[in-house]
Amino acid sequence: MKSVLHLNGRTVEVEAPAGRTLLEYLREQELYSVKHGCDHGECGACAVLVDDRPHNACQLLLPLLTNRRVETLEHLDASGELTPLRDAFLDHGAAQCGFCTPGMLIVAVALRRQGGSLDEARVREALTGTLCRCTGYVKPVQAILAAEEPE
């Protein structure tokens, strides 16, 4: 079975046998911002944007993604959309071991795209699907909020 998806701004046809996950495919494409974490959708390390919403790639089956728009950090970095968030994460020391950082950045981009004002409670709620054992979420929350402030 084939699936056609829109990956990082281009349309690709993918061999999609039953049971093949988006995570497996993205890692084969050398998109290493998508981390292989828990395989159960609990840690958020494999988060990607699907139609502007964060999803865990380990829980998404390729045959079900036909005509969906998938974005990874590689694409967001190349487009420049990631720059203010990346800079804020660096300025606030929000990336500790770095394993959860890509998932947190994906969540932050999704929040920015949703629009509206951000406050600590909204950011913390959005990050509930991302497991971090290093930061206690304080610095990532500060970084996400700082990225929203005018320079």
Q: What is the mean pLDDT of residues 23-38?
A: 96
Alpha helices in 47-151 (DSSP H): 73-79, 83-91, 101-114, 120-126, 138-148
Is it the case that residue 149 has pLDDT exceeding 90?
Answer: no
Is it the case that residue 150 has pLDDT exceeding 80?
Answer: no
Tokens found for residue 46:
């494999």
Rounded to whole angstroms, how far apart are CA atoms 43 and 125? Answer: 15
Q: What is the pLDDT of residue 96?
A: 87
Other Cβ atoms less than 10 A from the Cβ of 39: the count is 13
pLDDT, tens digit (0-9, with 9 covering 90-100), for 46-88: 999 999 999 999 999 999 999 999 999 999 999 999 999 999 9
